[in-house]
Amino acid sequence: MVSSDMSTESLLASLFAEKGVPQPSAPDGVTAASTTDSEFIPEELTTFEEADLREAEVEALILKFLMNTASATGAEIAEQIKLPQKMIDPVLRRLKDEQQLVYKGMGSLNDYIHEITEIGAVRARRFSEKNTHFGSAPVSIKDYIAAIEAQSIDKDKPTVAKLQEAFAGLTMCDDLMRRVGRAIHSGRGLFLYGSPGNGKTSIAERITGAFGEHIWIPRVLNMYGEIVRLFDPSSHEELPLSSNNGLENGIKVDRRWIKIRRPTIIVGGELTMDNLEMTKNRDSGISEAPVQLKSNCGTLLIDDFGRQRMSVAELLNRWIVPLEKRYDILSMASGRKVRVPFDQMIVFSTNLDPSDLVDEAFLRRIPYKIEAKDPTESQFRELFAEQAATWNIELPAGALEHLIEQHYKSPRRNMRFCHPRDILQQVRNLCEFEGQPRIADISALDAAVETYFGIMYGTEDWV
């Protein structure tokens, strides 16, 4: 919700009108928010040439899988490496003819149960010396780049409805909403700064929701012979297909790709240079994609910027070119340099003064510098009342005036957007613990403030 006389809808509508951006009308019976998803769908392929795969790659995956399992049907092997069974059946027959596997029994629907032989195991161990991967067949870097271009945030300009949906329930002043809206529409970098507790992280986390709901990414990549894990369950949220038979909008999907929610990846003080580079596991031979690759077509939030384990100078030097050129150069373990898309909304969030952290050359590459200011007293009052109503907490007459006079104005304490929520949460917990009705009276507010501000009680610059 916007804390002003102007509603969120009219505010965003005026924003788009100022920029001369038409607001698309939705088809009959369809809301505008439901018409912005990407149209890119990876269609199932029928030949190795179409999939940009070599038969030897598929053979290696099959043998390594069979070496690590007792036995498997052709359908199970196809499911494991995410290729159509009709594509791998000729490979299985050839491997049997070469005595690298044998038929252990019959499966269903003219399928066979396959088991690796000692000859096949020798080859599988040799393949494993390069890498131990025996999951999904990889997608070529060429096809990945084409997919990112097709799903780029530059091609998915948010509508008013999507912005309303993304920021629903978040109290922001009209000026802040306008600036953030412009930054999102541009799809370029955003620097959010200001005092802690004013919603910088909350704003950044909601930005991705203004773009289309989902994208498609490969499970693993083939970067010129090296296997790179791209799909990361800790960073990506898998979404179900539109039907249960492997179809998406009537199209048979290439299972080497996975449908995910547009990513929002957050890195904070733990960020190191290794997170920005391709890292290869020496034991498995499999490389891990850096955070900027995992966040393509989404949002990458650098939270608490300036407090990373790596120096600010290192981070700026690493990204100063990608931020301007919109592509990155990654170094593979082999020493080869690979050019990849740098296609995400980069958000730097900090409690520190940006001018003390970065130089002018870097700031120029972040088009939008936006301060999340403290709420005004009227905004604070409105938000406090809203939070009390949300949690069904009674707010007696005079209680809020007491809070503001005694705990903000008298000690010269700055108001923050997070304070109403946090103080009322203390009140709720106190009332529930004592078995009392939820009433934020003066005594309850005094008790909440005392424990909330703690040893910093009475200081002006409490954070």
List C-alpha distances in Å: 96 to 120, 156, 351: 10, 49, 64
**At residue 288, does pLDDT exceed 60?**
yes
**At residue 353, does pLDDT exceed 80?**
no
Give the chain's radius of gyration (CA, Å): 27
Assess contact for 208 and 295: CB atoms under 8 A: no
Q: Is 174 helix (H, G, I), strand (E, B) or coil?
A: helix
CA triple 144-146-147, angle to 5 deg:
65
Report phi then psi at 233, rounded to 5: -60, -25
**197 in the Ramachandran plot: left (φ > 0), alpha (ψ -120 to 50) or beta?**
left
List C-alpha distances in Å: 391 to 138, 394, 422: 49, 9, 12
Nearest to 268 by CA among 339, 352, 190, 350: 350
Longest dimension (CA), the chain: 88
**At residue 355, does pLDDT exceed 80?**
no
Measure the CA–CA gap between 275 and 210, rounded to whole angstroms.
Answer: 26
Average pLDDT over residues 383-407: 93
What's the pLDDT tens digit per position in 208-261?
A: 888 878 999 999 999 999 999 999 999 999 999 988 788 898 899 999 999 999
What's the pLDDT tens digit per position in 33-77?
A: 333 444 899 999 999 999 999 999 999 999 999 999 989 999 999
E strand or H helix that includes residue 191: strand 190-193
| Residue 204 confidence (pLDDT) | 79
| Residue 223 confidence (pLDDT) | 94
Higher pLDDT, 164 or 240: 240
Q: Of the ranges 33-42, 99-108, 177-186, 305-314, which one carries the lowest mean pLDDT score?
A: 33-42
| Burial class, 391, CB count within 10 angstroms (exposed 0-12 / middle 13-18 / buried 19+) | middle
What's the pLDDT tens digit per position in 331-340?
A: 998 889 999 9
* pLDDT band per the 50, 70, 90 thresholds, residue 172: low
Measure the CA–CA gap between 353 and 436, rounded to whole angstroms.
Answer: 44
* pLDDT band per the 50, 70, 90 thresholds, residue 20: very low
What's the pLDDT tens digit per position in 259-278?
A: 999 999 998 878 888 899 99
| Residue 27 confidence (pLDDT) | 35
Q: How many residues does the chain have?
A: 463
In this structure, are strands 226-229 and 220-223 parallel, antiparallel, or unpaired?
antiparallel
| Residue 70 confidence (pLDDT) | 84
Measure the CA–CA gap between 303 and 142, rounded to whole angstroms.
Answer: 32
| Residue 28 confidence (pLDDT) | 36
**At residue 421, does pLDDT exceed 70?**
yes
| Residue 55 confidence (pLDDT) | 96
| Residue 310 confidence (pLDDT) | 82
